[in-house]
């Protein structure tokens, strides 16, 4: 069985202007994490380029790649060379006309340990993801690695307690969220602050409800709307790692790229679940309505 303690790194980045430059930035951060003794590195959502979902453009489907493909090959080589686990986030072309937002997990031997296809796809101002992404069909299944069982979710998934609970019930030992959360740069500052607080709070709630560490790796920086119709998006960073009682262990700011590193002890889940036995006390015979859109 894998050991319970590991060193986790989140790579909070801003767009570098091209796929090649972004991948170079990812590689530099992964190598820096390795030098600092990290076992697991998580990259942000759609790290190979800008957040292209601000607009609907058929030509942008050309950004997608297969899995396995060039990005997984590069991440695999790094994982094997540096003997660490890497979680990446790619625009996947599964078949002609079928595309996903997909997380890839490369184990420390370079093998593709598994993938997760984003289940919750937002359609919001500045986030036209339903135009590009087919909802995932692999379910909420943790991915087994040499470090343990990783519950990987993506972006909009992080708002849904059902997704976190399903991963916990599948035996996930930690919840990981590659993310691309931001706001209109002209938005009222107090409103943006409330949005960030809500984003942090709900994910800390997932940690508490499931007695698991949670790590969210968000992008940072301003990205213009290529169409010029809107003011673009300012991604709010604040990547963070919290413990299984919701305690903040490490957090980045909202302005700068950051390699955020923390030690986590996955064995803490057991004593906390003994103290707060939420899974034991679930009334599973009474939850049928959760499978309905709304109870009229």
Give the CATH fold of the 7-288 domain.
Answer: Nitrilase/N-carbamoyl-D-aminoacid amidohydrolase (3.60.110)
**Would you state the structure tokens that stand for residue 15, as one six-digit string?**
């767009």
CA distance 154 to 130: 14
SS3 34: helix
pLDDT at residue 2 in the model: 64
Residues 97 and 64 sit within 8 Å (Cβ to Cβ): no
Residues 4 and 29 sit within 8 Å (Cβ to Cβ): no
**Would you state the structure tokens that stand for residue 162, as one six-digit string?**
């059902």
State which residues of the chain have pLDDT below 50: 1
Cβ-count burial of 1 within 10 angstroms (0-12 exposed, 13-18 middle, 19+ buried)?
A: exposed
Domain map (residue ranges) of the chain = 7-288
Total length of the chain:
296
pLDDT at residue 296 in the model: 85
Distance of CA 142 to the CA centre of its chain: 13
Residues 111 and 145 sit within 8 Å (Cβ to Cβ): no
Q: Is the pTM of this model over 0.95?
A: yes
End-to-end CA distance of the chain: 47
- What CA dihedral angle connects 119, 123, 126 and 131, to 10 degrees? 80
pLDDT at residue 1 in the model: 43
Residues 6+ apart with CB under 8 A from 33: 9, 11, 41, 84, 259, 261
CA distance 126 to 113: 32
Residues 6+ apart with CB under 8 A from 283: none
- The helix or strand, by DSSP H or E, that contains position 32, with its residue range, turns out to be helix 19-35
**Tokens 């990446």 correspond to what residue?**
88
**Tokens 């800390």 correspond to what residue?**
204
């Amino acid at each position: 069985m894998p050991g319970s303690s590991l060193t986790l790194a989140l790579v909070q980045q801003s767009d570098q202007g091209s796929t090649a430059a972004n991948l170079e930035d990812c590689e530099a951060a992964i190598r820096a994490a390795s030098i600092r003794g990290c076992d697991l590195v998580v990259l942000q959502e759609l790290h190979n380029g800008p957040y292209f979902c601000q607009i609907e453009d058929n030509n942008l489907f050309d950004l997608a790649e297969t899995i396995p493909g060039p990005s997984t090959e590069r991440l695999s080589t790094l994982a094997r060379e540096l003997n660490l686990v890497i979680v990446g986030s790619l625009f996947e072309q599964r078949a002609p006309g079928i595309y996903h937002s997909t997380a890839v997990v490369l184990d420390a031997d370079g093998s593709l340990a598994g993938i997760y296809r984003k289940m919750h796809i937002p359609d919001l101002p500045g986030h036209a993801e339903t135009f590009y992404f087919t909802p995932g069909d692999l379910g909420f299944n943790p991915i087994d690695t040499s470090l343990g069982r990783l519950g990987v979710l993506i972006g909009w998934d992080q708002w849904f307690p059902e997704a976190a609970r399903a991963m916990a019930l599948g035996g996930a030992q930690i919840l990981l969220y590659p993310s691309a959360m931001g706001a209109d740069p002209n938005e009222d500052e107090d409103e943006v602050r409330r949005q960030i607080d809500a984003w942090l709070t709900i994910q800390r709630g997932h940690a508490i409800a499931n007695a698991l560490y949670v790590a969210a790796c968000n992008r940072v920086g301003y990205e213009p709307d290529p169409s010029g119709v809107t003011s673009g998006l300012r991604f709010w960073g604040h990547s963070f790692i919290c413990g299984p009682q919701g305690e903040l262990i490490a957090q980045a700011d909202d302005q700068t790229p950051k390699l955020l590193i923390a030690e986590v002890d996955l064995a803490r889940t057991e004593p906390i679940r003994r103290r707060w036995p939420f899974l034991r006390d679930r009334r599973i015979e009474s939850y049928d309505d959760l499978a309905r859109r709304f109870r009229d």
